[in-house]
Amino acid sequence: MPRRHRPNSLAQCRALRHGVEFGALRRGVITLELIVAMPVLVILIMAVVEFAIIYQVNEEVAGAARFGAKLAAEITRNHSVSPRLSNYNTPGVNHLKERIDQYLQNHGLTPSCEVILQHTACVPGQYQENPTPIPGTCPCTIIGGATNPFGLAAVEPPPGEAYVRVTVVVNLSGNVPNLLATFGLPLGNLTLQESCVFRIETNNTPPSIVVTGTPTFVPVNYTQTGTFGCGNTVTFSNALGTTVGPGDVTIQFDATGTTDLEQPPGTLSYSWTTTGVGFNPSASPSSGTGTTYTTTLQRPPDPDTNSTTTEPDLINTYTTTLTVTDSCGAVSTCVLTTVLITRDSDPAP
C-alpha cells in the first residue's frame, strides 16, 4: 500500500495551514467583488438596451420628419381648397400632424406631441405649429424663430427655390422603457426632435385675368362690333352717309372675374391705363385702379367737308391695359383694343 505523505517538519505544517486560509480569503474577495460589480453591470446592460432603443426610435422620428416634409412639399397652394400649404398643419382630417401620427403609429410609436411646419412660399401660414401653443410636456427647439423662419423677405423666391421644413417632436415616455428610473435616471419629459427640409414642388402662379366691358354711352348711329375681352378688338362705327349723334363713347371695364390660385381676389392690385392714336384721341380718365374702370373715349369728328366728295374715314384707336399684381409680385397683363371709326355723313352721290 502507498504510504501517506506527512509533513516532516513544523514549517511545512504551517505553510499548508496558511495555504488553506489564503484560498478561503480569495474566494471571499471574489464574492465581494461580484456583489459590488453586479449593480454596475446591470446598470450598464440596461443603459445599453435603453440607448439602443432610443437610437432606433430616433431613426423612426427622422423618417416621420422626412415623410412630413415630402407631403408638405407636394401639397397644393390653392386657397380655395383644404388642406393646402397655408393651413396644412392645422387640426383637420388628412392634415400634416394626422398623417405623421399615422406614420408613427404604423411603426409602433405613440403620436407626436408637436409638429412644426415652416416654409418660404409666398402664401400665408409660413409658421404653423400643431398643437398650439406647444405643450409644456413637449419641450422642443424652434429652428429659425416663429415670425420669419428662414430669415427671408416676404416675397416669392425664384421658381424652384421655395423650401419647407417640418419638425417632429416625440416623447420618449411610452416609446422607450424607463429602465434607468430605479437608478435615478428617469426619462421624465425628455423628447426626440428631428427636422427635414424639402424643396417645394409648386411655384407661385400669376393672376388669371378676366375682363368684360359694357358701353354706358354710345352716340346715336354708332354701332358696336365684337365683344370685350383680353386680346380682343371692339369697333364702334357709323354707316357711310349717317350722322353720328353728339357725345363720345363711354365704357365700363370690369375685372371682378379675375382670380389667383394662391390668393383671394381682395389681395390683388389692379392698374388700368388707356392710350390712343389717331385724330386727336383723348381718354378721360386715362388711368385707374380697382376692379372696375370707366373711361370716356373721344370719337373722331365727321370727315365730311362737302357733298361732292367722299372723305376717308377718321379712326381713333385706343389701347386699354390692365396690370394685375398679387402680393407675391407675380404680374399678369390684359390688353383690350377699342377702335372708333367715323365715316363721311354726306358722301358723294
| pLDDT tens digits for range 99-119 | 999 999 999 999 999 999 999
Higher-confidence residue of 236 and 145: namely 236
Q: Side chain identity at 242, as an amino acid letter? A: T
Q: Element (H or E) spanning 274, and its range?
A: strand 269-278
pTM: 0.72
Highest mean pLDDT among 59-68, 127-136, 190-199: 59-68
Higher-confidence residue of 148 and 70: namely 70
What does the pLDDT look like over 242-299, one tens digit per residue?
999 999 999 999 999 999 998 887 889 999 999 999 999 999 999 999 999 999 999 9
Q: Does the pLDDT at position 203 exceed 60?
A: yes
CA angle 249-333-153, nearest 5°? 140
**342 within 8 A of 237, measured Cβ to Cβ:** yes
Q: Kindly report which listed range (145-149, 208-212, 240-244, 290-294) carries the lowest average pLDDT score.
A: 145-149
Q: Which CATH architecture describes the domain 212-342?
A: Sandwich (2.60)
Q: What is the pLDDT at residue 190?
A: 85
Q: Does the pLDDT at position 221 exceed 70?
A: yes
Q: What is the pLDDT at residue 204?
A: 87
Q: Kindly report which listed range (111-115, 180-184, 216-220, 237-241) carries the lowest average pLDDT score.
A: 180-184
Map residue 343 onto helix, strand or coil: coil
Q: What is the pLDDT at residue 199?
A: 92
Share of the chain above pLDDT 70, in %: 85
In angstroms, the CA 90 to CA 144 distance is: 20
- Quickly state the pLDDT bin for 41 (edges 50, 70, 90): confident
Q: Does the pLDDT at position 138 exceed 70?
A: yes
Q: Does the pLDDT at position 46 exceed 60?
A: yes
Q: Does the pLDDT at position 22 exceed 80?
A: no
List of residues 6+ apart from 72 with CB closer than 8 A: 85, 88, 89, 96, 117, 119, 164, 166, 198, 200
In angstroms, the CA 333 to CA 59 distance is: 50
Higher-confidence residue of 36 and 77: namely 77
Q: What is the DSSP letter of 259?
A: B
| Long-range interactions of 302-310: CB distance < 8 A, separation 24+ | 302/243, 302/244, 302/342, 302/344, 302/345, 303/342, 303/343, 303/344, 304/344, 304/345, 304/346, 304/347, 306/346, 307/346, 307/347, 307/348, 307/349, 308/348, 309/347, 309/348, 310/240, 310/344, 310/347, 310/348
What mean pLDDT do residues 113-133 have? 91
Phi, psi of 25 (to 5 degrees): -65, -40
Q: Taking each helix axis from N to C terminus, what angle separates 96-106 and 10-74, rounded to the nearest 10 degrees?
A: 140
- Quickly state the pLDDT bin for 154 (edges 50, 70, 90): low
Phi-psi region of 221 (alpha: psi -120 to 50; beta: other; left: phi over 0): left
Q: Kindly report which listed range (92-101, 136-145, 239-248, 333-342) carries the lowest average pLDDT score.
A: 136-145
Full strand arrangement of the beta sheet holding 292-297: 212-217, 249-254, 292-297, 283-284
C-alpha cell at 51: 440607448
Q: What is the pLDDT at residue 323?
A: 98
What mean pLDDT do residues 297-319 have? 92
Domain residue ranges in the chain:
27-199, 212-342
- Quickly state the pLDDT bin for 155 (edges 50, 70, 90): low
